[in-house]
Amino acid sequence: MRILLVGAGGVGDAIAKIAARRSFFDLLVVSDYDPARAERTVAWVRERHGDEVAARFAAARIDASDPESVASVAREHGATHVMNAVEPKFVPAVFAGALAAGCDYLDMAMSLSEPHPTDPYAQTGVKLGDDQFAQAGDWERAGRLALVGMGVEPGLSDVFARYAADRLFSEVDELGTRDGANLVVRDEAGNEVFAPSFSIWTTIEECLNPPVVWEDGDGWFTTPPFSEPEVFEFPEGIGPVECVNVEHEEVLLMPRWIDAKRVTFKYGLGEEFIGVLRTLHLLGLDSTTPLRVRSAAGPVEVAPRDVVAAALPDPATIGPRMTGKTCAGVWVTGTGVDGQPREVYLYHVADNEWTMREYGSQCVVWQTALNPVIALELLATGAWSGTGVLGPEAFDADPFLELMARAEADGGFGQPWGMEDRLAR
């Protein structure tokens, strides 16, 4: 396996660092529009693991907005797989470039949605991933696989959902992805500061778009942002967090392969974060449409959302100032295999102190990066295979969860996952 990793930001950097401990690939090319970022990642691998491991890594420049650039870099290095680790606005170009180069493809966020033009808070318009699924036939005819939504969310929760449907339930009432954290970022003086732990560009997209819900009989429909608040109890000391509906790929993926009466995604944003997002929207600072702005160098065009992203700390750099844990998982209700009512929460928790010590990556980006590396290894060994455009739910969950939890000394990733029977508590 020869992997072209597109993007050396926080998640791309963490993917390379996690992969450096694995032996399933022959080459991993870390590429970025800024080649210095890719070179820094490769230098970290060399410093931490030595020249022998670093010999399987290379750095390259790439333009993720240009399909031909993606295809050209992939061909130059003989890539068999393209791993997309850039913001979702670049998905169409990277997706097309991978297919043009004859590569398999993975991403962690799918092609963007467009709200319904007249009734955005009740009806769907263009849904997340619609553009990619519309091209499934092209990938099938080429005999290539596009594994979409294979991060942590979407990704791990989708694997958990598949496992629950296959192993734990005879009938599923709801698949409810629930994510929360108790992360705190402080400045040099010890004061708590506003610093999102993931790309603010992507966060704005997810949180201000109309959330999507799926129900059996009604299909997909939308609600207003931040709807249906609920307090969810997260494990391992995180505790109760208020969660709200957010647009996310799980709701668009799970019903395609798993029978359930309802599918939702709720995220623990917190009152302050919701307030900031509402203000950005009120001021039009969430817009991606460029505005003409006067500057000392003359008029320039800039998108307000890009200005917001530039003004906030890079999520990849806040790890040393962050404490706490983040939890990703899926809450499943329905009828167990014994015919009795059942309610379980399957989850994985990442501790920032541990991820910083082991990988030099803050826990949110590290947890996101873990799952595509596991998936790539399963594809390399043949434990997972397929053609077309497929989500994680299309594959057997057992090999993934077994490899994830198995100790590193025994060839696994050493990341146990948890399951709580909530009705028994």
What is the Cα–Cα distance from 323 to 268, expressed in whole angstroms? 17
Per-residue confidence (pLDDT) for residue 223, from 0 to 100: 96
Chain centroid to Cα 183, Å, comes to: 18
The total of other beta-carbon atoms located within 10 Å of residue 312's CB is 16
Residue indicated by tokens 């993606």: 70
Residue indicated by tokens 């990703």: 328
Task: Go through the domains of the chain in sequence order and give each one's CATH number.
Answer: 2-151+367-410 (3.40.50.720), 156-363 (3.30.360.10)
If pLDDT is split at 50, 70 and 90, which confidence band does 306 have?
confident
Is the model's pLDDT at 202 over the cut of 80?
no
Mean pLDDT in residue range 325-346: 97
Per-residue confidence (pLDDT) for residue 352, from 0 to 100: 95
Per-residue confidence (pLDDT) for residue 359, from 0 to 100: 95
If pLDDT is split at 50, 70 and 90, which confidence band does 175 have?
very high
More confident residue, 209 or 139: 139
Question: Strands 104-106, 81-84: parallel, antiparallel or unpaired by DSSP?
Answer: parallel
Cβ within 8 Å of residue 274, ≥6 positions away: 207, 226, 244
What is the Cα–Cα distance from 75 to 69, expressed in whole angstroms? 10
Q: Which of 24-28, 78-82, 96-100, 266-270 has the lowest mean pLDDT?
A: 266-270
Per-residue confidence (pLDDT) for residue 251, from 0 to 100: 98
Per-residue confidence (pLDDT) for residue 274, from 0 to 100: 81
Mean pLDDT in residue range 301-324: 82
The pLDDT tens digits of the residues spanning 362-386 come to: 999 999 999 999 999 999 999 999 9
Per-residue confidence (pLDDT) for residue 291, from 0 to 100: 87
More confident residue, 209 or 74: 74
Percent of the chain with pLDDT over 70: 99
Mean pLDDT in residue range 203-221: 91
Is the model's pLDDT at 67 over the cut of 90?
yes
Is-contact 350 367, C-beta < 8 A? yes
The total of other beta-carbon atoms located within 10 Å of residue 283's CB is 11
Is the model's pLDDT at 198 over the cut of 70?
no
* DSSP letter, residue 289: S
- List, as own/partner pairs, every contact residues 349-352 make where C-beta atoms lie below 8 angstroms and the sequence separation is at least 24, other chains included: 349/235, 349/236, 349/238, 349/325, 349/418, 350/325, 350/326, 351/324, 351/325, 352/183, 352/319, 352/322, 352/323, 352/324, 352/325, 352/326
Mean pLDDT in residue range 40-68: 98
Query: What is the rounded average pLDDT for all residues in the chain?
Result: 94
What is the Cα–Cα distance from 351 to 363, expressed in whole angstroms? 6
Is-contact 243 227, C-beta < 8 A? no
Nearest 10 degrees: Cα torsion 206, 128, 244, 216: 180
Per-residue confidence (pLDDT) for residue 424, from 0 to 100: 52
What is the Cα–Cα distance from 84 to 208, expressed in whole angstroms? 24
The total of other beta-carbon atoms located within 10 Å of residue 232's CB is 21
Single out the residue of 32, 5, 338, 329 nearest to residue 167, CA to CA: 338
Per-residue confidence (pLDDT) for residue 286, from 0 to 100: 84
Is the model's pLDDT at 425 over the cut of 50?
no
Packing angle between helix 10-19 and helix 363-381, nearest 10 degrees? 50
Question: Strands 325-336, 341-351: parallel, antiparallel or unpaired by DSSP?
Answer: antiparallel
